[in-house]
Amino acid sequence: MKYKGRFGDYGGFYVPEVLIPVLEELEEAFYRFYEDQQFVAELSQLSREYAGRPSPLYYAKRFSEHVGFKVYLKREDLLHGGAHKVNNTLGQGLLAKYMGKTKLIAETGAGQHGLATAMIGALFGMETKIFMGVIDIERQSVNVHKMKLCGAEVIDVEGGTGTLKDAINDALRYWTGHVTDTFYLFGSACGPHPYPTIVKHFQTCIGKEARQQCLEQLGKLPDMIVACVGGGSNAIGIFSGFIDDKDVRLIGVEAGGRSLNSGKHAATLVVGSVGILHGAKAYLLQDEEGQIHDTESVSAGLDYPAVGPEHCLLKDTGRAEYVAAEDDEVLDAFGLLSKSEGILPALESAHALAYLVGQKGKLDADQIVVVNLSGRGDKDVSIVEKRRPLEN
Partner 1 sequence: MKTYNQVFSELKGQNRTALIPFFVIGDPDFDTSVRIVKTAIDAGADVLELGIPFSDPIADGPTIQKADIRAMKSGMNLGKALKFIRKVKDYRDVPIGLLMYYNLVYQYGTEKFFNDFHKAGVNSVLVADLSIDDADEIIGPAASAGLDTVFMVTSVTGPERMKLIASKTTGFIYTVSLLGVTGSRENLSDTIEGLIGKLKELTNVPVCVGFGISKPEHAAAVAQAGADGVIIGSKIVGLIENNLNDREKMLAKISTFLGEVKNAI
Q: Which are the catalytic amino acids?
A: 85, 107, 374
Q: What is the CA radius of gyration of the chain?
A: 19
Least CB distance from residue 108 to partner 1, whole Å? 17
Q: Is 55 exposed, middle or buried (0-12, 13-18, 19+ CB in 10 A)?
A: buried
Taking the complex as a whole, the smallest distance from the CB of residue 9 to partner 1 amounts, in Å, to: 11
Least distance from partner 1 to the Cβ atom of residue 184, Å = 12
Task: Judge whether 298 and 387 are in contact, CB under 8 Å.
Answer: yes
Neighbours of 337 (CB within 10 A): 28
Work out the angle between the directed axes of helices 20-33 and 195-218 (0-180°, nearest 10).
30
**What residue type is 198 in one-letter code?**
I
Q: How far is the CB of 312 from partner 1 (least distance, A)?
A: 15
Q: Which is nearer to partner 1, 316 or 321 (CB)?
A: 316
Separation between Cα atoms, residue 108 and residue 156, nearest integer Å: 11
- CA 116 to CA 111: how far, in whole Å? 8
Our CB check for partner 1 shows the closer of 177 and 219 to be 177
d(CA 27, CA 313): 22
In sequence order, what are the beta bridge partners of 6?
11
- Nearer CB in complex with partner 1: 166/326: 166
Nearer to partner 1, 59 or 174 (CB): 174
Shortest distance in whole angstroms from residue 292 CB to partner 1? 4
Phi and psi dihedrals of 4, rounded to 5? Answer: -90, -20
Binding site for partner 1 (CB under 8 A): 1, 12-18, 20-22, 159-160, 165, 169, 172-173, 176-180, 275-279, 284, 286, 288-292
Pairing of strands 6-7, 10-14: antiparallel
Length of the chain: 392
Nearer to partner 1, 25 or 328 (CB): 25
